[in-house]
Structure 1
Amino acid sequence: MVNCSAVNCKNRSKNNCIFHRFPADPQRRKRWLINCRRINWTPSSNSRLCSDHFEPNQYEQNRQDGRKLLKPNAIPTLFQVPNPPKLFAQSRRSTYKVC
C-alpha cells in the first residue's frame, strides 16, 4: 500500500488517488521538498506525493491515451500547512488599456 509523504495528508493507494515519485532531477526534487515543508527528511525510492498536491494545470491535457500525467516541470503547491507555497495559477494579462 502506498501512502502520501506530505504533512497532514492521509491519502493511501486505496483512496483512488494517483501517486507520483519524487523527481530524479536535483533542482526539481529540492523544490518539491521545500514545498512539502518536511524538516530534516529525505525521500526514499518508495516516497510518493498524491495528486491532491498538484494544481490541475500541472497535468498534461488532452492525452490520446487518457492517462493523467504530470508535466515534466510540475511542482506540488497544494498543502495543508501554515504558510503554504504560492500557486502556479496563471492570471491572464489584458492587452487593452483601461481608462
Structure 2
Amino acid sequence: MVYCSALNCQNATSGVYKNSTVTFYGFPLHNKPLLKQWIHNMGREMGTPSKHQRLCSKHFEDSSFEIDPLKIRKNRRLLKEAVPKKFILVSCTSVLDGDPV
C-alpha cells in the first residue's frame, strides 16, 4: 500500500483512504535542487525521503503533467521539472483558555 507523504493528506492506494482518482509519484532523489524545492513546498521538516515515499497527484497543478492527446497511458506522466504546489499546511486545532470544565 502507498500513502501520500504530504501533511494533512490521507490519499492511499488501498484501504479506507483509497482514492482511485489520484496517482502517486516518487521524489526526485537524483535532482537535489528539485528535491529541496519539493520538500520546502511541502512545509514539512524531513530529511531525504526514501525511495518508497510518494506524493499524490492532488499536490500538482494540471500544468505539471504531460499531455497525452490519444489517452494511451492509464496514468498521467509527471513532467521532470514539475514541483508540487498544492498543500494544506494548517491543521485545525483548538486552544483552550482558562480552567477545564
Rounded Cα–Cα distance in structure 2 between residues aligned with 1:50 and 1:22 = 11
- Aligned pairs, number: 82
Rounded Cα–Cα distance in structure 2 between residues aligned with 1:57 and 1:33 = 19
Please tell me the root mean square deviation across aligned C-alpha atoms, in Å.
1.4
2:31 maps to 25
2:68 maps to 62
The amino acid of 1:74's aligned partner reads: A
The secondary structure found in structure 2 opposite 1:20 is strand
1:80 maps to 88
On the 8 A contact 2:39/2:46 being kept in 1, the answer is no
Rounded Cα–Cα distance in structure 1 between residues aligned with 2:8 and 2:68 = 31
- What is the TM-score when the length of structure 2 is the normalising length? 0.74
Q: Give the superposition deviation at 1:81.
A: 1.1
Rounded Cα–Cα distance in structure 1 between residues aligned with 2:43 and 2:3 = 17
Q: Give the superposition deviation at 1:41.
A: 3.6
2:44 maps to 38
Q: Give the superposition deviation at 1:53.
A: 0.1
The secondary structure found in structure 2 opposite 1:49 is strand
Rounded Cα–Cα distance in structure 1 between residues aligned with 2:55 and 2:45 = 16
- What is the TM-score when the length of structure 1 is the normalising length? 0.75
Task: List alignment gaps of at least 5 residues for structure 1.
Answer: 83-99
Rounded Cα–Cα distance in structure 1 between residues aligned with 2:43 and 2:25 = 17
Rounded Cα–Cα distance in structure 2 between residues aligned with 1:38 and 1:8 = 11
